[in-house]
């Protein structure tokens, strides 16, 4: 099972901490954040990781290495000094021959607790080429961006000033893909964001969904970073078990 981790961004909201470190290596509960992510992926059955790196990617390579100490095989695809966006980074990885025909995508700043096996089962049942995990945002973690029902994400729009009444879900930070979708819909060497691709897929009826009951944590904002640090220090994170999804 393969997962691509999107870890090439500059992390501007996290400055000055990211002036020296890439966001995925920021310390959380006395460890680089990447360690928490990689150990979770290994526990969930992932055996291969492709890091899509850019800003300070040399430090990611140096710290993670070949992934052996996490029980993983880790490869790298580096977009260098010319950012390609989250979807563009996946296209670059596909061009490099680094992606399997089916693969997971995880944001490099997301800490999750969900059963990958359960998500994969839903993916197979729905039959759509891409699946997005979603969370009904009862905690008001972020602005809603997804309409979800009957197993499908029927509308995805990021940064909507006035979300429609049925847009009550947010992207949970994990998705499952057919590589051919990236190859067919993302032009090579062109900056493209995943948000735009998710919008197109949702409107074309090609984006299934899986509702996660447990909230996510993230280090994409100073508040989120502090909250996750405190949460990990006060919880047995290794023992956290994902709950069953809410009915759709």
User: For the segment 7-47, what is each residue's pLDDT rounded down to a tens digit?
Assistant: 998 878 888 988 989 999 999 999 999 999 999 999 999 99
- Cα–Cα distances (Å) from 41 to 22, 162, 180, 227, 237, in that order, read 20, 36, 23, 21, 13
The answer as to whether 245 is a domain residue is: no
The answer as to whether 210 is a domain residue is: yes
The pLDDT of residue 34 is 96
For residues 198 and 151, give the distance between their C-alpha atoms in angstroms, rounded to a whole number.
15
Determine contact, residues 87/196, Cβ cutoff 8 Å.
yes
Cα 108 from chain centroid (whole Å): 6
In terms of DSSP bridges, do strands 217-218 and 110-111 run parallel, antiparallel, or are they unpaired?
antiparallel
Confidence of residue 80 (pLDDT cuts 50, 70, 90): confident
The answer as to whether 242 is a domain residue is: no
The pLDDT of residue 236 is 55
For residue 246, pLDDT beyond 70:
no
* Residue tagged 């979603």 (tokens): 134
At 157 the three-state DSSP class reads coil
Cβ of 165: how many Cβ atoms within 10 Å? 6
Q: Domain range for residue 222?
A: 2-235
For residues 93 and 96, give the distance between their C-alpha atoms in angstroms, rounded to a whole number.
5
For residues 46 and 229, give the distance between their C-alpha atoms in angstroms, rounded to a whole number.
24
The answer as to whether 241 is a domain residue is: no
pTM recorded for the entire structure = 0.90
- Count helices and strands in the chain by DSSP H and E runs: 7, 13
The model's pLDDT over 193-217, given as tens digits with 9 standing for 90+, comes to 999 999 999 999 999 999 998 888 9
Cβ of 163: how many Cβ atoms within 10 Å? 16
* Residue tagged 């909507």 (tokens): 160
- How many residues comprise the chain? 248
- Mean pLDDT (the chain) is 90
Count of structural domains, the chain: 1
Residues in Cβ contact with 16 at an 8 Å cutoff, skipping those fewer than 6 apart: none
The model's pLDDT over 96-152, given as tens digits with 9 standing for 90+, comes to 999 999 999 999 999 998 999 999 999 999 999 999 999 998 777 778 899 999 999
- pLDDT-above-90 percentage for the chain: 74
Helix spans in 65-106 (H): 85-95
- pLDDT-above-70 percentage for the chain: 94
The pLDDT of residue 92 is 96
The answer as to whether 240 is a domain residue is: no
The pLDDT of residue 161 is 77
The pLDDT of residue 7 is 94
Q: Which two tokens stand for residue 103?
A: 């693969």
The model's pLDDT over 137-160, given as tens digits with 9 standing for 90+, comes to 877 777 889 999 999 999 999 887
For residues 144 and 153, give the distance between their C-alpha atoms in angstroms, rounded to a whole number.
13
Nearest in space to 96 (alpha carbons), one of 82, 79, 113, 73? 79
Whichever domain contains 150, its CATH number is 3.90.550.10
Q: Which two tokens stand for residue 205?
A: 């009826």
Per-residue pLDDT averaged across 155-182, rounded?
Answer: 91
The pLDDT of residue 17 is 85
The answer as to whether 243 is a domain residue is: no
The answer as to whether 248 is a domain residue is: no
Determine contact, residues 59/15, Cβ cutoff 8 Å.
no
Confidence of residue 4 (pLDDT cuts 50, 70, 90): very high
Determine contact, residues 234/168, Cβ cutoff 8 Å.
no
The answer as to whether 111 is a domain residue is: yes
């Amino acid at each position: 099972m393969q997962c691509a981790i999107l870890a090439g961004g500059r992390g501007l909201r996290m400055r000055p901490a990211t002036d020296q470190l890439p966001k995925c290596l920021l310390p959380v509960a006395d460890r680089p954040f990447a360690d928490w992510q990689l150990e979770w992926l290994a526990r969930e059955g992932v055996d291969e990781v492709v890091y899509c790196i850019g800003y300070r990617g040399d430090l990611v390579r140096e710290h993670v290495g070949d992934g052996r100490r996490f029980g993983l095989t880790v490869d790298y695809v580096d977009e260098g000094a010319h950012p390609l966006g989250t979807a563009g980074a996946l296209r670059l990885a596909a061009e490099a021959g680094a992606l399997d025909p089916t693969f997971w995508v995880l944001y490099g700043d997301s800490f999750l607790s969900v059963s990958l096996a359960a998500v994969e089962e839903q993916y197979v049942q729905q039959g759509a080429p891409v699946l997005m995990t979603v969370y009904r945002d009862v905690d008001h973690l972020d602005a809603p961006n997804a309409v979800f029902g009957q197993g499908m994400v029927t509308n995805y729009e990021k940064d909507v000033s006035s979300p429609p009444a049925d847009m009550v879900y947010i992207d949970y930070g994990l998705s499952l893909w057919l590589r051919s979708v990236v190859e067919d819909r993302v032009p090579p060497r062109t900056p493209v964001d995943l948000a735009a691709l998710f919008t197109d897929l949702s409107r074309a009826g090609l984006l299934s969904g899986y509702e996660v009951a447990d909230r996510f944590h993230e280090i994409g904002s100073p508040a989120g970073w502090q909250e996750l640090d405190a949460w990990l220090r006060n919880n047995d994170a290794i023992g956290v078990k994902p709950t069953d999804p809410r009915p759709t």
